Amino acid sequence: DTGVSQDPRHKITKRGQNVTFRCDPISEHNRLYWYRQTLGQGPEFLTYFQNEAQLEKSRLLSDRFSAERPKGSFSTLEIQRTEQGDSAMYLCASSFSTGWNEKLFFGSGTQLSVL
Amino acid sequence: QKEVEQNSGPLSVPEGAIASLNCTYSDRGSQSFFWYRQYSGKSPELIMFIYSNGDKEDGRFTAQLNKASQYVSLLIRDSQPSDSATYLCAVSNTGNQFYFGTGTSLTVIP
């Protein structure tokens, strides 16, 4: 039983470049979430999918951010024209939706540094 | 007002003592409550969850929930240096929203 997998673990990029992160959820989980976490803060919700449908996006998610989950399996998060303020840990979490007792399980995260 | 509030600490306790971590939340409709442990540079790891008022024990960990006071706590008995981490409180309603606090940094001193 594998956990949530994220790739890459670390990404260093120059301002203005595009980056893409991948998340593979736990296989039987139907929901997939993206969070962003900066130093000293808790995870902040970005967006989530139920199967292949993107059901909600945070106001934090600017037009430069896009996420996909084709076929309801893995997901990608792309940031276009990166800015230094995008530097953060990007966390993916998955869950099996059972209503009120849904639990999130996180991947190891992708640490993004924008120079 | 933030949805979930935690004292950022740092909280220091000697090895073998009880560490007490607290969390308050603002949404009275919240149904599920979680504690995550996060080591420096790592991702959050789910260690406890509680849904009903009262106490829930799992090994050295006890989660306590008081919905009337909108208060959740985590007790760690016989604290070990390996418990040194940031502890995140998370709260969820039935609408697929999970709100996290900023975390409390715990240091267990050998």
Query: How much of chain A is helix, strand and coil, in % rounded to 5?
Result: 5, 50, 45
B44 with A43: Cβ contact below 8 A: yes
A42, A104, A109 member nearest B103 (Cβ)? A42
**B contact test, residue of A4, A37, A50 with most B CBs within 10 A:** A37
A51 touches chain B (CB under 8 A): no
Residues of B with CB under 8 A from a CB of A: 4, 8, 31-32, 34, 36, 41-46, 49, 51, 88, 90, 92, 94, 96-103
Task: Pick left, alpha or beta for residue B70 (phi over 0 → left; psi -120 to 50 → alpha; otherwise beta).
Answer: left
pLDDT at A102: 86
Q: Which residues of chain B have pLDDT under 70?
A: 1, 95
Task: Give the CA radius of gyration of chain A.
Answer: 13
Report residue B60 as tokens.
């050295």
Each of the 115 residues of chain A gets a pLDDT tens digit; together they read 579 999 999 999 999 999 999 999 999 899 999 999 999 999 999 999 999 998 888 887 889 999 999 888 999 999 999 999 999 999 999 998 876 678 999 999 999 999 9
**Cα–Cα distance measured from residue A34 to residue A4, given in angstroms and rounded to the nearest whole number:** 12
pLDDT at A5: 96
pLDDT at A56: 86
A101 touches chain B (CB under 8 A): yes
Measured torsion, CA atoms of residues A27, A21, A33, B100, in degrees rounded to the nearest 10: 130
A100 with B32: Cβ contact below 8 A: yes
Residue of B nearest to A91 (CA): B43
Task: Pick left, alpha or beta for residue B60 (phi over 0 → left; psi -120 to 50 → alpha; otherwise beta).
Answer: alpha
* Sequence-distant (≥ 6) Cβ neighbours of residue A96 within 8 angstroms: A26, A28, A29, A30, A31, A102
Q: Which residues pair with B55 in a beta bridge?
A: B64
B77-86: pLDDT as tens digits? 999 999 999 9
pLDDT at B1: 64
Alpha carbon distances (Å) from A84 to A41, A63, A112, A114, B43: 17, 16, 10, 5, 22
pLDDT at A1: 52
